[in-house]
Structure 1
Amino acid sequence: MDNISVRIFTLSGINETINYRLTIFSLTFLYYCLILFLNIALIMVIIFDENMHQPMYILLCSFCINGLYGTTGFYPKFLLDLLSSSHEISYEGCLLQAFIMYSFACCDLSILAVMAYDRYLAICRPLHYRSLMNKKRLSLLVCFSWLTPFCIFSVSIILTSTLKLCHSKIPKLFCVNWIIVKLACPDTDTIANEIISQLTIFIYVSHGFFIFWTYMHLIRMCVKSKDDRVKFMQTCVPHLVSLITFLVVIVFDLMYMRFSPTNISQSLQNFIALEFLIIPPVMNPLIYGFKLTKIRNKVLSLVYVDRK
């Protein structure tokens, strides 16, 4: 048992796609191109328009960059696997992909929490908004939203890399840290991994409670004024839709990963596992692009100029 050393993992979740490989490859490639186009377009619009160098739009830009980061950690590898007869990934590559998947998901929630704080200041404390959400504080909040998950999951992945593994089969389309931990040999101590896992859950559940708290104040404030209700509909509804979508898909994935139901088809299991990589990266730029007036007008003006 001491001599066992897993250096290659097998992603068995892709076996279900064998009969439809070319069709799935074509659809996935087109969908990934759509993700790249929508997110890059929104990022470029915000970067090159100085009128959008405001906290709300900078946070949205960070949101889209994170979407590109997470999807790039999955789609290129998945597309290669569809064209290959071997669905393997190296030990180092698997740990890297697991890090990207986890940090991407938690970075999304951190950014949503910062966006909720920004909307709370803009609507509930408008007179102090500019002083409270200055460039320095905005920079700190953006760094917080990125560095917190990066630091947490760096520790988590380092702990996982010390485990002795006895199995190499991962029943998913991509590597997940929790499943790698479950591949550890029976005599391996995984208590430290459990502690970090529970700490991570606590931190990001706290993010959720913070967002809930801000929206309680936002709704209470907005019912008093027609102007605030309009502002809420314009800037908070896209954020709320993104948040609900994110929470639904992540809860589905966590429930599946923790309880691992075996009475559902592999295809359905794959869809449940991929929801957070399929829905938010496309829906978020579309929602914000159509709902936020400045972005919508800027995109329409660019389209109009191109047609001329």
Structure 2
Amino acid sequence: MENSTYFYFMLFENIGYTRYVLFSLAFILYCTIIFFNILTILAIFLERTLHQPMYILISCLSVNSVFGTAAFFPRVLTDLLSDIHSISRELCILQSFVIFTYVVNEYTILMLMAFDRFAAICKPLQYHTIITPRSLTILIVINLTYTMILLGIAGILTTKMKMCGNKLFKVYCHNYELAKLSCENTIVINVFGMFITIVTTVIPLSLILYSYVNILIICQRSSSQFKGKAYQTCIPHVVVLLNFSVAVISDVTLSRVVTLNLPVGLSVFLSLEFLIIPPILNPLVYALNLPDIRKKIICLINPFK
């Protein structure tokens, strides 16, 4: 087969009238994700008392959710109503780049959140000298920039591969799935992909674990009042981290372990969990657990209350 200029999403074939039910569910879900995340961003942006590192990072999570889902939902909604489920090679690689940038950004932001909590709880007297608006901005820019560069290089390597197939058994473009369609030796891109995984996922997770272990040690030595306050700010971060990590692991497992025999519907859901659950769970977790954000959101929804 010649080098493919289009790829075809095979899982949209033969779904019949189910497509309209799926379209309705996906549309409602996407609107809900946009609504809650935009509400969180506005609450933090408009309330000056929330212009603090922890809240700024929470707003970054919401911005990232809007960014990542924008690469998936409009496309999948179009495919559900269309009889042609093809995507050009360039758009496919772009979609893959944006979705994986979203994943890496999520871990980066969660790592910075863990560092912020570590500084606040373990080094409270030095907190305002360690975490300043300038240092936080630099950390965000550096972390987001180098990950985008790494993923951009991976995208360029993918564009240069000669494809011997054009059928994708996913509902979105996945860089590893594209590599599996190549008729060339993919050892370079596989090794580079492993390097990216270590730099953008393993290292941030290790630093997150280090931060929370130290926080836990400090809490065990502190008063019950201090312990309760620390847990109140840390538990939402841990919930978000665990949820996102389980979702990403599910997608990676389904992509790389071909011996799993799961129903198609369950397989699709598990592969999409990282694009569906975290973007809607994150703002709910923070809105419900952090009174300052909850109060501002209530004011935005009902300004006359």
Alignment-mate amino acid for residue 196 of structure 2: T
User: For residue 197 of structure 1, what is the amino acid of its counterpart?
Assistant: G
* 2:146 corresponds to which of 148, 153, 163: 148
2:36 corresponds, among 35, 38, 53, to 38
RMSD: 1.4
Whether the 8 Å contact between 1:242 and 1:284 is mirrored in structure 2 is yes
> Partners of 1:279 and 1:57 in 2: how far apart?
21
| Higher mean C-alpha deviation, range 196-205 or range 90-99 | 196-205
Alignment correspondent of 1:101: 99
CA contact (8 A) 2:219 2:227 kept: yes
Bigger drift between 48-57 and 231-240 goes to 231-240
Q: CA deviation at 1:300?
A: 2.5
Task: Measure how far apart 1:17 and its partner are.
Answer: 3.6
Q: Which amino acid aligns with 2:205?
A: G
Q: Name which of structure 1's ranges 210-219 and 145-154 shifts more when overlaid on structure 2.
A: 145-154
Aligned match of 1:89: 87
Give, as a single letter, the amino acid of the residue that structure 2 aligns with 1:157.
Answer: G
What residue number does 1:227 align with?
225
Q: Structure 1 pair 235/87, CA: closer, same or farther in 2 (3 Å)?
A: same
Question: Does 1:215 find its partner at 2:209?
Answer: no
2:193 is aligned with 1:193: no
Aligned residue in 2 for 1:62: 60
CA contact under 8 A between 2:43 and 2:300: conserved in structure 1? Answer: no
Q: 1:16, 1:267 within 8 Å by CA — same for their partners in 2?
A: no
Distance 1:230 1:99 in 2: 40
Contact 1:246 1:280 in 2 (8 A): yes
> CA shift at 1:302, angstroms?
3.5
Post-superposition offset of 1:241: 0.2
Residue 174 of structure 1 aligns with an amino acid whose one-letter code is Y
Residue by residue over 1:65-109, the C-alpha shift from the partner in whole angstroms, topping out at 9 and shown as x without a partner, is 000010000000000001101111111010001101111111101
Query: Percent identity over the alignment?
Result: 35
1:12-55 residue CA offsets vs partner (Å, 9 max, x unmatched): 12236434111111111011000000000000111111111110
Is the CA contact 2:236–2:286 (under 8 Å) kept in the aligned structure 1? yes
Equivalent of residue 240 in structure 1, options 226, 238, 249:
238
Q: CA separation in 2, counterparts of 1:174 and 1:104? A: 14
Give, in angstroms, the shift of residue 261 of structure 1. 3.5
Partner Cα separation in structure 2 for residue 71 and residue 260 of structure 1: 26
Quick check: 2:9–2:169 contact (8 Å CA) kept in 1?
Answer: yes
- Give the alignment partner of residue 170 of structure 2, picking from 169, 172, 179: 172
Quick check: 1:17–1:24 contact (8 Å CA) kept in 2? no
Q: 2:149 & 2:26 partners in 1: Cα distance?
A: 31
Compute the displacement of 1:263 (Å). Answer: 2.1
Structure 2: gaps spanning 5 or more residues:
none
User: Which residue number corresponds to residue 75 of structure 1?
Assistant: 73
Q: How many Å separate the matches in 2 of 1:293 and 1:41?
A: 15
1:132 alignment partner AA: I
Gaps of at least 5 residues in structure 1 are none
Contact 1:242–1:280, Cα closer than 8 Å, also in 2 = yes
Q: Secondary structure at the match of 1:56?
A: helix
Q: How many residues align?
A: 303
Shift of 1:262: 5.2
TM-score by length of 2: 0.96
* Paired AA for residue 62 in structure 2: C
- Paired with 1:17 and 1:40, the residues of 2 have a C-alpha distance of 33
